[in-house]
Structure 1
Amino acid sequence: MRTLRYSINVTLDGCCHHEAGLPPDEESMHYWTDEMARADPLLFGRVTYEMMESAWRRPPSGTWPDWMGEWEVPFAEAIDQAKKYVVSSTLNDVAWNADLLQGDLEQAVQRLKQEPGERLWVGGVTLPVALADLGLIDEYEFVIQPVLAGHGPTLLAGLRERVQLELVHRREFGSGAVALRFRPRPAPA
């Protein structure tokens, strides 16, 4: 059975807006490229899907844009090629190697978890709250940036119940960022 991992960059004060942290550097992009390459399909809500597509979809010309550093291309290629599922009640069609995930969210994600493979990966802000409330997230991965944003959406805002976690992996980056991976603790018997 596939695990579902929620991964996101977050500031020290919990902001998870993509522009609030540090700009990516080679070390963090290499980390995210490796993580992306190990994900079977990606699961996005509409907003995250559209944001990621606008930044990381290979242009029709086949040439990556000038703003993209050479060290960002492997990440762009990994996410561009990845299979994607999009949860949306407003989109009728998706492209970029994606399918709409429709119907009951819990049942649809459970079906994806039952398919062969190692890991589903979810990013974003809103969809992960719904998945956490349903108890579907098996791992939480936060790359904590040494920044105080002071504004913006915060991590898992609106979660209905507290989720107890146990640390299973830690990695420090030269920038001062720290990747922490957690699994939910089993409920006491």
Structure 2
Amino acid sequence: MKPLRYSINLTLDGCCHHEAGIAPDDDSMQFWAAEMRSADALLFGRVTYEMMQSAWRKPADGVWPEWMEPWQMPFAEAIDERRKYVVSSTLGAVDWNTELLQGDLEESVRALKQQSGSGLWVGGVTLPLALADLGLIDEYVFVVQPVIAGHGPRLLDGLRQRIELELVTREEFTSGVIVLHYRPKR
């Protein structure tokens, strides 16, 4: 069974809004490109899918936009190329190398995990909460920003029961960001 990995940026006070931390830099974009490349497929809820698609989908002419810096391109290429699954009851159709997952969430994700490959990756806020409640997340990677946001959505806010984790690895970037990789204690 391939593992499902949840990775997210968050502030020291647990805020996981995508604009609450420090601005991306070369270290963080290399990290996120590697996260994307390590997965066979990406799993998104509708909100995260639409946000990622608007920012990181390669334009039809095949030329990345002028605003994109060279150090951002490995991430953009990695996310653009990956197979994607979107969990949504409101989207009628998807594209961008994406399949719509409808029906029972637990059953659908378990079926994806049964397929051969190196792993699945999930991002966002709402969908990972549902997956954590179902016990489907095998790895948690928290990219902790040296910021106190004081507001915004909190990491896994509303989780029905406590999940005990064990630290697997720890990495620090020159910016002061600390990446903490955990697995649930079984």
The question of a shared fold, defined as TM-score above 0.5 by the shorter chain, is answered with yes
Provide the residue aligned with 1:99 in structure 2. 99
How far apart are residue 57 of structure 1 and its match?
Answer: 0.2
Q: Give the match's secondary structure for 1:7.
A: strand
What code does the residue aligned with 2:109 have?
V
How far apart are residue 35 of structure 1 and its match?
Answer: 1.4
How far apart are residue 56 of structure 1 and its match?
Answer: 0.2
What code does the residue aligned with 1:126 have?
T
- 1:17-32 aligned within 5 A: 17-32=17-32
Q: Give the match's secondary structure for 1:121.
A: strand
5+ long unaligned stretches in structure 2: none
| In structure 2, C-alpha distance between the alignment counterparts of 1:33 and 1:154, rounded to whole Å | 24
How far apart are residue 62 of structure 1 and its match?
Answer: 1.4
How far apart are residue 65 of structure 1 and its match?
Answer: 1.1
What code does the residue aligned with 2:124 have?
G
What code does the residue aligned with 1:69 have?
E
More moved, 61-70 vs 78-87: 61-70
Q: Give the match's secondary structure for 1:62.
A: coil
| TM-score normalised according to structure 1 size | 0.97
Aligned-pair identity (%): 68
How far apart are residue 17 of structure 1 and its match?
Answer: 0.4
Provide the residue aligned with 2:153 in structure 1. 153
How far apart are residue 82 of structure 1 and its match?
Answer: 0.3
How far apart are residue 128 of structure 1 and its match?
Answer: 0.3
1:69 aligns to 2:69 (yes or no): yes
**Misfit runs of 4+, over 4 Å:** none
What code does the residue aligned with 1:176 have?
G
1:50 aligns to 2:50 (yes or no): yes
- Offset from partner CA, 1:119-173 (integer Å, 9 cap, x none): 1000000000000000000000010000111111110011100100000011100
| In structure 2, C-alpha distance between the alignment counterparts of 1:74 and 1:128, rounded to whole Å | 25
| TM-score normalised according to structure 2 size | 0.99
Provide the residue aligned with 1:87 in structure 2. 87
| In structure 2, C-alpha distance between the alignment counterparts of 1:103 and 1:79, rounded to whole Å | 25
Q: Give the match's secondary structure for 2:9.
A: strand
What code does the residue aligned with 1:117 have?
G
| In structure 2, C-alpha distance between the alignment counterparts of 1:7 and 1:20, rounded to whole Å | 16
Provide the residue aligned with 1:123 in structure 2. 123
Provide the residue aligned with 1:176 in structure 2. 176
| In structure 1, C-alpha distance between the alignment counterparts of 2:184 and 2:41, rounded to whole Å | 22
Superposition CA RMSD, Å: 0.6
5+ long unaligned stretches in structure 1: none
- Offset from partner CA, 1:61-119 (integer Å, 9 cap, x none): 21111111101011100000100000001001011100001111000000000000011
What code does the residue aligned with 2:83 have?
K
**How many aligned residue pairs are there?**
186
What code does the residue aligned with 2:2 have?
R
What code does the residue aligned with 2:71 have?
W
| In structure 1, C-alpha distance between the alignment counterparts of 2:48 and 2:141, rounded to whole Å | 17
Q: Give the match's secondary structure for 1:150.
A: coil
